[in-house]
Structure 1
Amino acid sequence: MTINESDAKQTPASKSKIWRILPENLTLVAIALCLAFLIRTFIAEPRYIPSDSMLPTLFTGDRLVVEKVSYKFHPPKTGDIIVFQPPTELQHRGYLKDQAFIKRVIGKPGEVISVAKGKVYLNGQPLEEDYIAEPPNQPFPPVTVPKDEFFVMGDNRNDSNDSRYWGFLPRKNIIGRATFRFWPFDRIGLI
């Protein structure tokens, strides 16, 4: 008897066993899919970096975990790296609503932001920014961040489409905070 012949001669008991375990396996698959959906929707999701705007902190092609829970309990802090949906002004310029951006929070509601002499100023004090690619080369007049909005900038100050060009970021557009880089493996770790 060959292997194929023995497979073809399954007993009714073995066929019955297959039918008994099939619902259990389908239930496990359904639970796994539901958990994956719930985690991605409410807790965390993977994202990739599509541009050089966050150099040298993040490189094009880096893969990140964006957590979505902490901002339900407190607002973003200065220095947080956030992922967000483009505000209305960017959508008018052709960006899709579901096209995510990533930038660093520089100013919170009520704070005054300006750029002068290669420095970013927060409430009149220069920020210590050891994470930027190079000092910003264009001045930006002082602006006060409105209620429920944020001022964001890329770490690659001179190659970043950020609040200096399209305005303030509404809090409702924030998806979450970038917390962990999982790709590439040689740069894996917390952000």
Structure 2
Amino acid sequence: MSSSGTYVIMGDSDDSYDFSALSLFTEKLSEGYDLVMGNRFSGGIKPDAMPFLHRYLGNPVLSFMGRVLFHIPIQDFHCGLRGFRRSAYEQWGVTATGMEFASEMVVKAALCRHSLCEVPTILYPDGRERHPYLRSWRDGYRHFRLLSGLYFEQKNMSARHFSRYFVVALLLVLLIKMLVGEPVKVASCSMLPTLKPQEWIWCDKASYGALMPRRFIETLLLNLLCFIPGVMQKDTVRDWGYRRMVEFREPERLDVVIFKRGKGNNLYIKRIIGMPGDTLRMQDGKVYVNGQALKDTGSKYSSYDVFSDIVVAPKHYFVMGDFRSNSYDSRRFGCICWEDIVGRMASD
């Protein structure tokens, strides 16, 4: 570190923190703490300042993992504003070159038995015009890998112990995938400009109530049996019936939903336009719902398809892509059934 001061305050240069309000950091450093972390969850997160996934999944889960594995009393491992004693930092041996350095600093400070604390910090929206370098899944995995590696290194863990933790972690991941949600890749351009091809989104299964498997191919681990000759063929006619966990909310108009069609395994991503009981028509590129023009904030590419008096059946939804002129949706295959909806896109 090229700094020559006794204390160092480090923060993101994206206008998301108020550098004129650093007195809490300097006070704690003066009291003898070696690392003072900002806590955005206790200080306050302004609207649009933190993406949904980071606020409710990434930061809480990874910080919880760090607290459990290393017994560190820090709630927000990844706050971009922190202060530390320069002499202490030189003992930590931070080597990470990516975003995971945030976790490494906290863990290595704790392993060196240095004193840590948190102070409330307000997070403001990113003031930069360019897109941030942070990539949710890539950097989240790097944090996870670093925390796991430091833990096993600290414990000098044998392969036997490692396998136990691996099995527990695998089961936890599988449960999250089945009951909470999973990442889904956008396959086409039908949702432009909202979603780009090859972009990853989080499919929130819990909000609508997670769908329970109806066949082997939909069941975690059991789907491996489908590689056995004959099992896949029999599985195409298997049906355990429709079951869904308790939902926390029902689909709403303009929700972006992820769904299947029939017994196919492909996932589709579209926006709900028509709700059960609605009467729809489309004229001059504008959609009318029950006679009123739809204020569709998600769509910026119109289509001049013309249809009229489509009545949405109970427990069905009329869906369309935002790129109206290049989307295979309910205008072609009809309304989708509630039973086929896997989840909704978690909004930032």
Q: TM-score range by the shorter chain?
A: 0.7 to 0.9
Distance in 2 between residues matched to 1:87 and 1:121, nearest whole Å: 28
User: Structure 1 counterpart of 2:250, which letter?
Assistant: P
Match of 1:153 in 2: 320
Q: 1:87–1:169: 8 Å Cα contact kept in structure 2?
A: no
User: Structure 2 counterpart of 1:63, which letter?
Assistant: W
Match of 2:204 among 29, 54, 67: 67
* Identity in percent: 33
Report the more deviating stretch, 58-67 or 68-77.
68-77
Match of 1:77 in 2: 252
| Structure 1 length-normalised TM | 0.76
Match of 1:24 in 2: 161
User: Structure 1 counterpart of 2:302, which letter?
Assistant: P
RCO greater where, 1 or 2, for CA within 8 Å and sep 6 or more? 1
Distance in 1 between residues matched to 2:268 and 2:158, nearest whole Å: 45
Q: Which has the higher strand share?
A: 1
Task: Give deviations 1:37-94, integer Å, cap 9, x for gaps.
Answer: 1101111101111111001100111101111011122321001000111247xxxxxx
Q: How big is the shift at 1:21?
A: 4.1
Task: Give deviations 1:138-178, integer Å, cap 9, x for gaps.
Answer: 11121111111110000001110000111010011111011
Distance in 1 between residues matched to 2:179 and 2:287, nearest whole Å: 34
Unaligned stretches of 5+ residues in structure 2: 1-155, 210-246
CA RMSD, 1 decimal: 1.6
Q: 1:87 to 1:160 in 2, by over 3 A?
A: farther
Equivalent residue runs for 1:86-97 within 5 Å: 86-87=261-262, 97=264
Q: 1:68–1:176: 8 Å Cα contact kept in structure 2?
A: yes
Distance in 1 between residues matched to 2:190 and 2:252, nearest whole Å: 20
Q: 1:87 to 1:113 in 2, by over 3 A?
A: farther
Match of 1:111 in 2: 278
User: Structure 2 counterpart of 1:41, which letter?
Assistant: M
Q: 2:254–2:296: 8 Å Cα contact kept in structure 1?
A: no
SS of equivalent residue, structure 1 residue 141? strand
Unaligned stretches of 5+ residues in structure 1: 1-17, 89-96, 181-189
